[in-house]
Amino acid sequence: MALLRHTKADMPEREALTINPAKTCQPIGAMYAALGIRGCLPHSHGSQGCCSYHRSTLTRHYKEPVMASTSSFTEGSAVFGGQSNLLQAIETIFTTYDPEIIAVHTTCLSETIGDDLVQIIGKAREEGKIPKGKRVIHANTPSYVGSHVTGFSNMVRGMVKCLSEPSDIRLRRINLIPGWVEPADMRELKRILDIMKIDATVFPDTSGILDTPQTGKFEMFPEGGVSVEQLVKTGTNCHTLALGPTASDLGRKELELKCGIPGETIELPIGLAATDAFIETLRKIGMVEIPKTIEEERGRLVDVMSDMHQYFYQKRVALWGDPDQLVSLTGFLCDLDMKPVYIVTDTPDPGFEERIAKVMNGRVSGAKVRQGQCADMFLLHKWIKEEPVDLIIGNTYGKYIARDENVPFVRYGFPILDRIGHSYFPSVGYTGGLRLLEKILDAILDNKDRTSLEESFELVM
Ligand code: SF4
């Protein structure tokens, strides 16, 4: 990362090499999604090194112990396959840790060998290694394609494929797939649903699992999350609302295919317009009135947006991270009259540029937007060298660019390894929008305080 300092503005275009990717690996997303099921132990079918890396990245981001097991591949498993390791692991996990459910995901190695999870889990069931009433679900997450968001999306689909049961009954209850958002965001989405009096099964749901209070007692399986029983019954709910096409569309489509549940996918409710769309969609699906509390929260966000408009106006911003967050954030920045000029995500998403253009709605001319291979932080830094920006927004790895270019930096996305707050304070909904505004304003005004000339330094800048 320190090598970013040597990034030049005149680097040639690359076709193959990714440098400092704006993504991480698939199983991390699968592990995060699996943690959103109550009583679940994520299991990494691969070598110990992969599992340690995934656990440590999630632990460093959430500042919580992340439990997961591994098939502990050796050279022998790499040659002969990992079936015996997984069979032994399933037996040991249920005997020793007694989870309700194990969520198995693959790694690069087990995918390259070609281990067949369906067959191995079937064999474990035949051999009585899965106790009565317990479940084992799975997702294929080869990390040489996609990103952590793809892994999350694959595991969400795995939940539906392995657990949701079709039914003729239709309850007056919806499924909400929240996308890859923080535990605080999932909590906030549930609060909004409560206020609007809409019954919903939110899955996955990492609130109460990765933001647990200190009680002095270690709980291997905290009380939060969605239960297995609720997941089984997703097939009886009347509608599915998926937030964020990249992370959640697969799960919604699978529910439609398997259980015939109608639904729709909208952008993540980050910022004013995207939250408006979310609330309006909920209003229609739930056939309810929009409560005064929600209207007041919106009003407070609009008030701060207009009060502070002078500080946002025409500020050039560079962003990197995950497609769903970037699309909604870009729309929000445009609503603030800011100029998101550089946007990159290494997560492959063919519709990304079009989604960005839609939320920009012609408000930013000459913006550079890239997704997939080579849409990395090296490219972003090169663009910043060519023409500077006033603010950068992205994960922790941006601190090297912020320091080298002496530019204000708002930490947002995954992973954030060197700060706290992201898992405790939501950024979705109108309340989340206020927190984003505060962070952006603080970064801009702190920089103004720090860099203004002595003669123009005032109490209120
Ligand atoms: S990229 Fe592949 S080998 Fe590396 S940690 Fe991820 S799953 Fe393991």
SS3 of residue 272 by DSSP: helix
Which domains, from first to last, does the chain contain?
2-19+308-454 (3.40.50.1980), 26-145 (3.40.50.1980), 171-209+223-294 (3.40.50.1980)
Give me the amino acid identity at 451.
T
For the Cβ of 25 lying below 6 angstroms from any atom of ligand 1, the answer is yes
CA gap 57, 400 in Å, rounded? 19
CA gap 299, 311 in Å, rounded? 20
Angle in degrees, CA 58, 64, 66, rounded to 5: 55
For the Cβ of 156 lying below 6 angstroms from any atom of ligand 1, the answer is no
Give me the amino acid identity at 240.
T
Backbone angles phi, psi at 135, to 5 degrees: -130, 150
Residue nearest atom 6 of ligand 1, based on CA coordinates? 25
Residue nearest atom 7 of ligand 1, based on CA coordinates? 107
For the CA of 28, the closest atom of ligand 1 is 6
Angle in degrees, CA 75, 81, 83, rounded to 5: 120
Chain centroid, CA 39 distance in Å: 21
Burial of residue 115 (number of CB atoms within 10 Å: 0-12, 13-18, 19+) = buried
CA gap 418, 6 in Å, rounded? 23
Name 263's bridge partners.
240
For the Cβ of 143 lying below 6 angstroms from any atom of ligand 1, the answer is yes
- Sheet order of strands, 135-139 included: 69-70, 40-45, 101-106, 135-139
Between the alpha carbon of residue 137 and those of residues 55, 245, 403, the distances in Å are 19, 23, 44
CA gap 131, 292 in Å, rounded? 49
Structure tokens at 446: 């702190």
Task: Tell me whether the omega of the peptide bond preceding residue 204 falls within 30 degrees of 0, making it cis.
Answer: yes
204: nearest Cα among 233, 229, 183: 183
For the Cβ of 53 lying below 6 angstroms from any atom of ligand 1, the answer is yes
For the Cβ of 348 lying below 6 angstroms from any atom of ligand 1, the answer is no
H or E stretch at 238? strand 237-243
Q: Is the dihedral of CA 291, 182, 178, 322 positive or negative?
A: positive
CA gap 456, 373 in Å, rounded? 45
Please tell me what DSSP assigns to residue 293.
Answer: H
Q: Which residue has the tokens 């460093």?
A: 60
Write the secondary structure of 156-173 as one string of H (helix), E (strand) and C (coil): HHHHHHHHCCCCCCCEEE
For ligand 1, the distance from its centroid to the CA atom of residue 93, given in whole angstroms, is 22
Between the alpha carbon of residue 45 and those of residues 104, 109, 144, 147, 364, the distances in Å are 7, 9, 15, 17, 45
For the Cβ of 66 lying below 6 angstroms from any atom of ligand 1, the answer is no
Tell which one of 32, 107, 346 to mutate to probe ligand 1, the residue whose CB is within 8 A of the most ligand atoms. Answer: 107
For the Cβ of 30 lying below 6 angstroms from any atom of ligand 1, the answer is no
Tell which one of 43, 47, 53, 115 to mutate to probe ligand 1, the residue whose CB is within 8 A of the most ligand atoms. Answer: 53
pLDDT at position 275: 98
Task: Tell me whether the omega of the peptide bond preceding residue 348 falls within 30 degrees of 0, making it cis.
Answer: no
SS3 of residue 261 by DSSP: coil
Q: Mean pLDDT by 10-residue block, N- to C-terminus, for the chain (461 residues)? A: 64 86 96 98 97 97 96 94 97 98 98 97 98 98 96 98 97 98 98 98 98 94 97 98 98 98 98 98 97 98 97 98 98 98 97 98 97 95 96 97 96 97 97 98 97 94 84
103: nearest Cα among 164, 25, 159, 180: 159
Angle in degrees, CA 206, 108, 379, rounded to 5: 80
